[in-house]
Copies of this chain bind each other. A is one copy, B any other.
Amino acid sequence: MTNITANDIWSALRAIREKAPVVHSITNYVVMNSTANALLALGASPVMAHAEEEMEEMVGIASALVINIGTLSPAWVRAMFMAAEAARKRKIPIVLDPVGAGATTYRTRTARELIRAVPPQIIRGNASEIMALLETNTKTKGVDSTASSDAAVAIGRKLHAESGAAVCISGETDYTIGRAGVIRGRNGHIMMTRVTGLGCTASALCGAFAAVVSDPAVAAAEAMAVMGIAGEIAFAKSTGPGSLQLHFIDALYRLSADDIGRMVKIETEP
């Protein structure tokens, strides 16, 4: 794997701003608004729909599909399977965010079944969630991560091997495991964990990047870098998580080649 440069990230961001890819999200109620705003600020075109009656047509106008299991119910799970199947037929990238996998059997089972039925191109979660997709003995406290990141990388490699998906494990360091190795990103700020749904936003941004970047692992790592850089810019202007959220959206909108070049912390290894 060649290194991901600041210029690569900037090129991808410019492509999103120029093409405004439609990202179809089937996501949880908590984050729909903030996710749509982040995608718009980035330059993408969000759509959200969950009815089986329109799933195939809606996927039909999308350039990427993001499935987030944060507030599941049976009707939504059926829509997720329909959407994933429609995305596979159209060969558009699928991102899966297994929110809360490990916290309940229903979530863990649904996420695993989705992966088996239609392997996504990218799976993004915190370490506990990613571990839960393979291990049965991991405890998750709510939707926060409790596993060490080092342990998670090993699991990420295993999940990548099993599923074929690029596996992105977010935390203080973001690890993205793809065909060619591990990409480590060190952007971001701890206060971002005090804003609800920034993990979900990260998954949505993975979808936008996957719409314009062919390698899923590269797309995911670039999305995480943009998240983290925007978060750092926002933190510097913030007095708490409320203002961080606002400045994060503005930073996504204004992010420049210079910001990326100056701030990005990303490295790859085989």
Q: Is the CB of B45 within 8 A of A245?
A: no
| Binding-face segment, A68-76, A118-126, A174-182 | A68-76
Determine how many copies of this chain the complex contains: 3
A168 partner residues in chain B, CB cutoff 8 A: none
Give A12 to B50 CA distance when docked, in angstroms. Answer: 37
Instruction: Please classify how large the interface on chain A is, using the bins under 10, 10 to 19, 20 to 34, 35 or more.
Output: 35 or more
Stretch at the interface among A27-35, A159-167, A205-213: A27-35
Interface segment, one of A97-105, A216-224, A261-269:
A97-105
Interface residues of A in 187-242 (CB under 8 A from B): 193-197, 238-242
Q: How far is the CA of A39 from the CA of B138 in the complex (A)?
A: 25
A251 within 8 A of B: yes
Chain A, residues 145-171, CB within 8 Å of chain B (1/0): the string is 000000000000000000000000000
Q: Which of A3-11, A51-59, A87-95, A129-137 contacts B (4 or more CB under 8 A)?
A: A51-59
- Whether B54 contacts A104 by the Cβ 8 Å rule is yes
Besides the known contacts A37-B245, A242-B253, 4 further A-B residue pairs in the complex with CB atoms under 8 A apart: A29-B29, A61-B141, A242-B249, A243-B250
Show the binding face of A for B, using Cβ within 8 Å.
Answer: 22, 28-34, 36-37, 40-41, 45-51, 53-54, 57-58, 61, 70-75, 100, 103-107, 140-144, 193-197, 238-243, 245-254
